[in-house]
Structure 1
Amino acid sequence: MTYMKNVLFLTLVILTGCSKSATDAKLPIPPKLIVFISIDQFRYDYLTRFAPFFGADGFNHLIKKGANFVNCEYEHATTKTSVGHSVMMSGAYPRTTGIVANNWYDRDLRRLTYSVEDTLSPVLGLIQKSNRDGRSPRKFNGTNLGDALKHHNGNKSKVFAVSCKDDASILMAGRSANAAYWMNDAEGGFFTSSYYMKAFPEWVETFNREHSFDKWFGAKWDLLLGEKDYPMIDISALRYYDYPKSWSGTLPYQIGISLEKPDADYYNLLIESPFSSEALLDFTERLTVEEELGADEFPDILCISFSANDEIGHCFGPNSREVMDVTIRTDRYLERLFKFMDKAVGDEHILYVLTSDHGVAVMPEELKRLEIESGRVKPPVIEKLVQEAMTKKFGKLDVESSYVGRMANLDFYFNRSALDEKKIDKKAAEDYISQVLTKSMPQIFRVYTAEHLMHGNISQDTVLRLVQNNYHTENSGDLVIILKPNFVWDRNEVGTEHGSPYSYDRHVPLILYGTNWIKPGNFGTPCSPADIAPTLSTIFGIDAPVGFEGKILKEVIRFSK
């Protein structure tokens, strides 16, 4: 019903934009350029916690002049990078798109597969070690905003995406994009896929030959502000930091100081530092000029995903000095971006979107010191428990080696061949193991079976609804395991994680700013990043992406008379 209401509203807007209506309400001329900004792993509370340290022209350029939604939460359970970036540009959930996580278990291949893995599309400029190194958006089912815009005007619009990460860039760019670019962590520079083009444009070749990434070799990442502005250092927490190679202690850190010259280790360190955001902006500015974005009557889309915040957040946690520092630096990077775009295109011709793909959990050890129940759960523990329980009930296998396919994210996959060997009904196995896990592991909140998720009605229960939105019949597991709040899936006992259906992973910023299209103000309306694509489609006066489920944020659209 919500989908049909949105379709009807969008249809009315398109029609009334082309003819006189009773109210004569119509849309203004569309923006020349959408600049769609995603800050990877950016909790909503970063906007409020660190607000005293923001300048006037970074985050505040959007917050003070745009529509700031303070109650924006994702409506899916597996809050991961690939999922968030696919939702924000399509308005569709994993149950439709198939992007259920960054990686999921492929039952036919009997291994993990990556959300943008594609054996048919080699990466340009990369010596492939395996055909699994190819990249494209082919695993994404459906279309996104860029696809819809290009379809509307006969491919005359340009759509680009840039990021440190390939999945973020590709899933924002969509199927019809001119290109998705991401950082080369082996050699420096930027990659793209042969899915988009047969050869790099000359300007990209030139950019990569300049080795601009190397200018941070030996650079020091130090506190941007005075030390008194940062939280006190908790020495006991340092042993839980997931330090990148060669780093230890606390800020400052140096990038590649122990290396003889820039190499793969250096480029990996660069990506895990704030300086990668500067490299991203260098490339973005070059792209904007060389591809002449926003230069004609056909609207263009530029997607930018800042990944350093995620890398740093995983290592140090949301309450660290490092996360505070990269957040303040991001404010300054946004100021640089806005000033450049104003000169290149004109602020009055641009509509900005700022959001994030997910939040992150506080380090469990920090919460334990506050006597808050929390902890870490290792996926192999689940796999071992299932194998032992199945063997005890159904006996040892003769042909297959294990009843376990894989534990991946929230999803547990049976080895279907093992079930066939023992002639075990899949539903019976799901029911049995869900009971075993619930009784054996107090860290578990709920276990949902595939049978329940496939045949149950969409629930009013929040967690179940989020899991249902995330469940895809082909790509999701036979069981979906939800841990209790403040417990994280963990493999190495350091750092922190995201990926849960709880608010600390789902609550993210959403700010829209465009003088001619968006009404300014703070809005408490409950919303989701899935609402962005249908809202922008309304402003463009085009059909929304196929299968969108988000709603149109009608209250902020500035219609003209």
Structure 2
Amino acid sequence: MKNIITSIVLLTLFCSCGAQEITKEKTLANTQKEISPKPKLVVGIVVDQMRYDYLTRFESKFGEGGFKRLINDGFNCKNHHFNYIPTKTGPGHASIFTGTTPKYHGIIGNDWYQLDLRKKVNCVEDESVEPLGTLSEDGKKSPVKMLTSTFADENRLFTEMRGKSIGISIKHRGAILPAGHSANAAYWWDYDHNGTGNWITSSYYMNELPQWVVDFNNSGKADSYFKVWDTYYNIDHYVESGSDINEYERLFKGETNSGFPHDLNSLKDENGGYKVIADSPYGNSLTTDFVIEALIQENLGKDNHTDVLTISYSSTDKVGHDFAPNSVEVEDTYIRLDLELERLFKELDKRVGKDHYTVFLTADHGAPHAPMYTNSFKIPAGFFDLDTLLKEININLEESYGIPNLALSRINNQIYIDHKSAVANNLSIQELKIKIAQIVKSHDLISNVYITSELNNLNISLGYQELLLFNGHHQMRSGDVIFTFNPEVFKDTSWNRTGTDHHSGYNYDTHVPLIFSGVGIKKGETLNRTVVTDIAPTISALLGISFPNGATGNVLGFVLD
């Protein structure tokens, strides 16, 4: 009888424990069902120098698988802007992925003047690292000058470094800054100054190039783009652009006019070798080739730890600088980029799965029309000679104080004072700032002038341009006097007389696309204003990770599903 009772008790306990385990499993399963699935891969695409109106102006020329796929399947933020000055490539890429402005991430330009070194420095230069894949100084690069984390960094920390982060761009800053400090790799193309034509990196990331990168560099893929660049469609169909031959566009060396076709193979010797590919839409094609190889070889999006792939299409910027927004060349470049996006998305569908990745596409800045072009329609525009201004300032200061070269640089519309010389000669820095500001303010084509003590104490409820200057100013890196031009005014250089440039806080430079698509994203659109610093917090919220440590933007909750 005792054995029977014992058996019954044990059986009851067994059944009870089994029921508890089944209940736990059901509860866990239900909990997992309630948790929104995360993407296995986040793809951040930056199109260098893409104005928002390229989406609408060239819409009839786009297919269904590129830009239109993103818009139709995703969420289109139609009133998206940058919220700082200067609108340059380095600050743009840093701001997109850190969720903050140059005031905090410290990338105040592509280059800036460093007072203690008494020279201009590049935003990603790093003398402590060695180049891999080249002997060029362009290989001595890293994200060390960026002061805050990116969402890719936070994803790496969240996944205990299991989630990968890889950045790819023809431009070093377009590859390095988005991928973050803890990236597995950043790769950029060695094209400038008659470069090797290799995809390269630095010892910041690794000790040697992976074999797959070496194999890609040896494949001859880059050389295959030394070919004729002609319009994708019959040139008569490019009604969205101006005349093909005009005086507003730069010429490739060796050409007598700006018209199609452009024979890159015959032009390469006079135009920097591989640089001529970067200056054409084929630079974007080569980027897609390399991105797809990285996707395959690095097994991105293949496990449950979210990976981050950042892509910056740089050739749009180079073509834009050369030919300006109204050119057939720019339109053709975007038609071809649309095809590259379609090719990329098909590979992502195949390799990762359509329901397993999230994409966002934006730009690092826009661009105005060529000043001479807008002048031809009586729209105010012009050129301002910054070198002459710097000389004028130094002549004036020397006449007043008997000391030469008190102003060291005028980079990024900022005047840097020689503090060491001023202190040695018992000069008031504040007095020098005020005097320089008065000289700058006396010129036509200048809209606003501020000294740093004013800028640091600005009431941010003041005007729009003042807020942008406030957000773009870093106390330890920015200059002593900062100024802005009137709309459509460029710095006057020999190469800037044709084509376009960018730097300002005006709509043509700040209004760019922002489209989200894929896992966790609603379908829709908004005309509500969004800003660049909102992107990283939104992706962080999607992934359920910490925001980048300096992020100042907001989560775009209406985008998330």
For normalisation by structure 1, the TM-score amounts to 0.90
Find the partner of 2:314 among 307, 317, 328: 307
Question: Which residue does 1:376 correspond to in 2?
Answer: 383
Q: Secondary structure at the match of 2:36?
A: coil
For 1:301-450, list aligned pairs within 5 A: 301-394=308-401, 396-397=402-403, 401-439=404-442, 441-450=443-452
- 1:138 aligns to 2:148 (yes or no): no
Question: Which residue does 2:107 correspond to in 1?
Answer: 99
Q: Secondary structure at the match of 1:64?
A: helix
Question: Which residue does 1:292 correspond to in 2?
Answer: 299
Question: Which residue does 1:551 correspond to in 2?
Answer: 554
Q: Decide whether the 8 Å contact of 1:532 with 1:552 is kept in 2.
A: yes
Question: Which residue does 1:160 correspond to in 2?
Answer: 166
Sort the Cα spacing of 1:235 and 1:191 in 2 relative to 1 into closer, same or farther, 3 A: closer
Q: Decide whether the 8 Å contact of 1:73 with 1:528 is kept in 2.
A: yes
Find the partner of 2:119 among 84, 102, 111: 111
Give the Cα–Cα distance (whole angstroms) in 2 for the partners of residues 391 and 281 of structure 1.
54
- Residue by residue over 1:89-142, the C-alpha shift from the partner in whole angstroms, topping out at 9 and shown as x without a partner, is 11011011110000000101111000000011122122246xx86100000001
Structure 2, unpaired ranges of 5+: 1-26
Q: Decide whether the 8 Å contact of 2:114 with 2:477 is kept in 1.
A: yes
Q: Secondary structure at the match of 2:361?
A: strand
Question: Which residue does 2:20 correspond to in 1?
Answer: none
Please report how far the alpha carbon of residue 206 of structure 1 lies from its aligned counterpart in structure 2 after TM superposition. 1.0
Q: Decide whether the 8 Å contact of 2:153 with 2:180 is kept in 1.
A: yes
- Residue by residue over 1:6-59, the C-alpha shift from the partner in whole angstroms, topping out at 9 and shown as x without a partner, is xxxxxxxxxxxxx99xxx996511100111111000000100111111111110
Question: Which residue does 2:224 correspond to in 1?
Answer: 215
Q: Decide whether the 8 Å contact of 2:267 with 2:276 is kept in 1.
A: no
- 1:511 aligns to 2:519 (yes or no): no
Question: Which residue does 1:7 correspond to in 2?
Answer: none
| Paired amino acid for 1:209 | N
Question: Which residue does 2:483 correspond to in 1?
Answer: 481
For 1:510-549, list aligned pairs within 5 A: 510-514=514-518, 516-549=519-552
Find the partner of 1:497 among 495, 501, 505: 501
Q: Secondary structure at the match of 1:78?
A: coil
Please report how far the alpha carbon of residue 233 of structure 1 lies from its aligned counterpart in structure 2 after TM superposition. 5.1
Find the partner of 1:270 among 265, 270, 277: 277
Question: Which residue does 2:6 correspond to in 1?
Answer: none
Give the Cα–Cα distance (whole angstroms) in 2 for the partners of residues 158 and 136 of structure 1.
17
Question: Which residue does 1:169 correspond to in 2?
Answer: 175
Give the Cα–Cα distance (whole angstroms) in 1 for the partners of residues 280 and 33 of structure 2.
48
Aligned residues: 526
Q: Decide whether the 8 Å contact of 1:244 with 1:272 is kept in 2.
A: no
Question: Which residue does 1:71 correspond to in 2?
Answer: 79
What is the identity percentage for the equivalent residue pairs of Structure 1 and Structure 2?
A: 34
Question: Which residue does 1:30 correspond to in 2?
Answer: 38
Question: Which residue does 1:13 correspond to in 2?
Answer: none
- 1:39 aligns to 2:33 (yes or no): no
Q: Secondary structure at the match of 2:410?
A: strand
Computing the radius of gyration over CA atoms, which structure comes out larger, 1 or 2?
2
Q: Decide whether the 8 Å contact of 1:118 with 1:133 is kept in 2.
A: no
Give the Cα–Cα distance (whole angstroms) in 2 for the partners of residues 46 and 195 of structure 1.
37
Give the Cα–Cα distance (whole angstroms) in 2 for the partners of residues 361 and 139 of structure 1.
29
Q: Secondary structure at the match of 1:149?
A: helix
- Across the aligned residues of Structure 1 and Structure 2, the Cα RMSD in angstroms comes to 2.0
Q: Decide whether the 8 Å contact of 1:189 with 1:211 is kept in 2.
A: no
| Paired amino acid for 2:550 | G
Question: Which residue does 1:9 correspond to in 2?
Answer: none
Between 1:370-379 and 1:156-165, the stretch displaced more is: 370-379
Give the Cα–Cα distance (whole angstroms) in 1 for the partners of residues 318 and 467 of structure 2.
29
Between 1:276-285 and 1:418-427, the stretch displaced more is: 418-427
Please report how far the alpha carbon of residue 235 of structure 1 lies from its aligned counterpart in structure 2 after TM superposition. 7.7
Question: Which residue does 1:88 correspond to in 2?
Answer: 96
Give the Cα–Cα distance (whole angstroms) in 2 for the partners of residues 508 and 225 of structure 1.
26
Give the Cα–Cα distance (whole angstroms) in 1 for the partners of residues 308 and 245 of structure 2.
46
Sort the Cα spacing of 1:182 and 1:102 in 2 relative to 1 into closer, same or farther, 3 A: same
| Paired amino acid for 1:225 | Y
Give the Cα–Cα distance (whole angstroms) in 2 for the partners of residues 34 and 289 of structure 1.
15
Q: Secondary structure at the match of 1:482?
A: strand
Give the Cα–Cα distance (whole angstroms) in 1 for the partners of residues 536 and 242 of structure 2.
41
Q: Decide whether the 8 Å contact of 1:411 with 1:479 is kept in 2.
A: yes
Please report how far the alpha carbon of residue 259 of structure 1 lies from its aligned counterpart in structure 2 after TM superposition. 5.6
Q: Secondary structure at the match of 1:295?
A: coil
Sort the Cα spacing of 1:317 and 1:51 in 2 relative to 1 into closer, same or farther, 3 A: same
For normalisation by structure 2, the TM-score amounts to 0.90
Q: Decide whether the 8 Å contact of 2:243 with 2:328 is kept in 1.
A: no
Question: Which residue does 1:50 correspond to in 2?
Answer: 58
Between 1:247-256 and 1:166-175, the stretch displaced more is: 247-256
Give the Cα–Cα distance (whole angstroms) in 2 for the partners of residues 175 and 378 of structure 1.
37
Q: Decide whether the 8 Å contact of 2:360 with 2:515 is kept in 1.
A: yes
Please report how far the alpha carbon of residue 469 of structure 1 lies from its aligned counterpart in structure 2 after TM superposition. 0.3
| Paired amino acid for 1:506 | T
Sort the Cα spacing of 1:25 and 1:206 in 2 relative to 1 into closer, same or farther, 3 A: closer
- Residue by residue over 1:157-199, the C-alpha shift from the partner in whole angstroms, topping out at 9 and shown as x without a partner, is 0011110100110001110000000111111120011100001
Structure 1, unpaired ranges of 5+: 1-18
